[in-house]
Chain A
Amino acid sequence: MDKNSSLCSNRPMKEKYRIYGGLFLSFLKISSLTLGGGAVMLPLMEEEFVKRRKWITEEDMLDVYTLCNTLPGVIALNSSLMIGRIRAGLPGAVCAVTGVLLPSVVVIAALASAVQLLVAYPLVARAFLGVRAGVTALLLLVIIGLGKKGIRGVRELSIALFAFVALEIFSINAVLVVLLCALLGGILFRSKREGRP
């Protein structure tokens, strides 16, 4: 991957700006077309950057997948940063991240003001009362999907239950709950790793 970034530093200025522009526009396109977030965007990125444009290799993409799963934060942003960085160094990363951010920030900023005004109308308020029930259903399915993949044993289950009880019944600060769960994970999962060759 360093090979690629050093390649572009030797290119003429005009070509460089074309690459930055391309990165920005590609990510702008992917971000405005995906609803729901990072997990949906990764396959689209692979299609666009590995298969269609051949900007990065299959192996680079694999690194992106692995790292996105081990770093904190929003997957969509971490992956765009990495792809931009691999393709065109730090300025490339900035262009990619800006492309991802722009559509959602603009749409939300506009909608936020509109919704605040609209909720004053009883019909809109009733519609939003209904939407919560819909969101409950969507989140329930998210948690079932995650549970099937992520909860593989008693240890995972007890950490999940601990997080739920700490947050919901004891109202412990959520950031603290996550840190405690990380610590619990460190204790519970360590022994198994060391047992392997």
Chain B
Amino acid sequence: MIYAQLFWVFCKIGAVTFGGGYAMISLIQQEVVSRHWCTPGEFADMVAISQMTPGPVALNTATYVGKITAGIPGALIATFGLIFPALCLTTLVIRFLEQVKRSHVAEPYIRGIRAAAVGLIGAAVLFFMENSLVDGDLPLDRHLIGRGASWAGLGFLWQGFVIFAVILVLKKLIDIKPVWAILLSLALGAGLYTVFPAG
């Protein structure tokens, strides 16, 4: 039952992610790609689009995955699944606001999850590097190592490096908004890969 699966997957992710959406990207990627709901390439496109449309990135990605897996009902169920644990907890916590503010029981655990978020986003960076800056999958994963992938076999996509550098510089210099950064990379990608085809 696809609806129940969608709800359960996103409910799990919503329950364990703290402090914002970017850490959720790696979690969503692993769950949906391993279930073959979309290919890694499709997932990358989804995250890009989720960054240029209104609303939180994690929420947009959930809606997107739901939509392409099971249509509009799927989109609604995935979105609801993602927010369900937080809605329950928030409603509960607001009743005991004063006690919650004074107690620090959860603090060390949350600090652990916060630190983990940095590692999780690191994994997401790596995922986006593959097939954009390098031509293929980085041989870090033990499954890939087993299949004989190697560092020597990787090609570098200089077109990708150009786009990467342009966005990095623009963001640092003039703090370009994500939506413009995404639109600019789309345009640069279309231009560069048309004039200088990859491979």
Contact partner of B181 among A39, A134, A170, A189, CB < 8 A?
A134
Q: Check A135/B48 contact, CB under 8 A, given A72-B14, A174-B120, A179-B16.
A: yes
**Contact code string A135-170 (vs B, CB < 8 Å = 1, else 0):** 111111111001100110001110111111101111
Taking a contact as CB atoms under 8 Å apart, the answer to whether B182 and A134 are in contact is yes
Contact partner of B190 among A32, A67, A127, A169, CB < 8 A?
A127
Q: Does A101 touch B at the CB level, under 8 Å? A: yes
Q: In the bound complex, what is the Cα–Cα distance between A101 and B84 (angstroms)?
A: 13
Q: In the bound complex, what is the Cα–Cα distance between A101 and B87 (angstroms)?
A: 13
Q: In the bound complex, what is the Cα–Cα distance between A34 and B51 (angstroms)?
A: 11
Q: In the bound complex, what is the Cα–Cα distance between A26 and B105 (angstroms)?
A: 35
Taking a contact as CB atoms under 8 Å apart, the answer to whether B161 and A133 are in contact is yes
Kindly provide the distance from the CB of B74 to the nearest chain A CB, expressed in whole angstroms: 10
Question: How big is chain B's contact interface, by range?
Answer: 35 or more
Q: In the bound complex, what is the Cα–Cα distance between A190 and B20 (angstroms)?
A: 24
Q: Which residues of B contact A8 (CB under 8 A)?
A: none
Kindly provide the distance from the CB of A7 to the nearest chain B CB, expressed in whole angstroms: 17
Q: In the bound complex, what is the Cα–Cα distance between A162 and B179 (angstroms)?
A: 32
**Contact code string A114-135 (vs B, CB < 8 Å = 1, else 0):** 0110010001101111111111
Q: Does B154 touch A at the CB level, under 8 Å? A: no
* Residues 33-50 (chain A) with a chain B CB within 8 angstroms: 33-39
Q: Which residues of A contact B141 (CB under 8 A)?
A: 168-169, 171
Q: Which residues of B contact A187 (CB under 8 A)?
A: 108
Taking a contact as CB atoms under 8 Å apart, the answer to whether A82 and B94 are in contact is yes
Q: Does B5 touch A at the CB level, under 8 Å? A: no
Q: How many A-B residue pairs have CB under 8 A?
A: 390
Kindly provide the distance from the CB of B8 to the nearest chain A CB, expressed in whole angstroms: 11
Taking a contact as CB atoms under 8 Å apart, the answer to whether B57 and A36 are in contact is yes
Question: How big is chain A's contact interface, by range?
Answer: 35 or more
Taking a contact as CB atoms under 8 Å apart, the answer to whether B51 and A105 are in contact is no
Q: Which residues of B contact A67 (CB under 8 A)?
A: 90, 93-94, 97, 100
Q: Does B76 touch A at the CB level, under 8 Å? A: yes
Taking a contact as CB atoms under 8 Å apart, the answer to whether B185 and A135 are in contact is yes
Q: In the bound complex, what is the Cα–Cα distance between A123 and B192 (angstroms)?
A: 11
Taking a contact as CB atoms under 8 Å apart, the answer to whether A111 and B49 are in contact is yes
Q: Which residues of A contact B128 (CB under 8 A)?
A: 132-133, 135-136, 139
Taking a contact as CB atoms under 8 Å apart, the answer to whether B31 and A174 are in contact is yes
Taking a contact as CB atoms under 8 Å apart, the answer to whether B45 and A104 are in contact is no
Q: Which residues of A contact B64 (CB under 8 A)?
A: 108, 111-112
Q: Check A103/B55 contact, CB under 8 A, given A134-B163, A134-B184.
A: yes
Q: Check A81/B91 contact, CB under 8 A, given A73-B85, A168-B126, A168-B141.
A: yes
A→B interface (CB under 8 Å): 1, 31-39, 63, 66-67, 69-78, 81-82, 85-86, 90, 93, 97, 100-101, 103-105, 107-109, 111-113, 115-116, 119, 123-124, 126-143, 146-147, 150-151, 155-157, 159-165, 167-171, 173-175, 177-179, 181-190, 193
Interchain residue pairs with CB less than 8 A apart (17): A73-B90, A75-B21, A77-B56, A85-B94, A107-B53, A113-B67, A129-B131, A130-B163, A134-B167, A150-B117, A150-B118, A160-B115, A164-B122, A171-B141, A174-B120, A175-B12, A189-B107
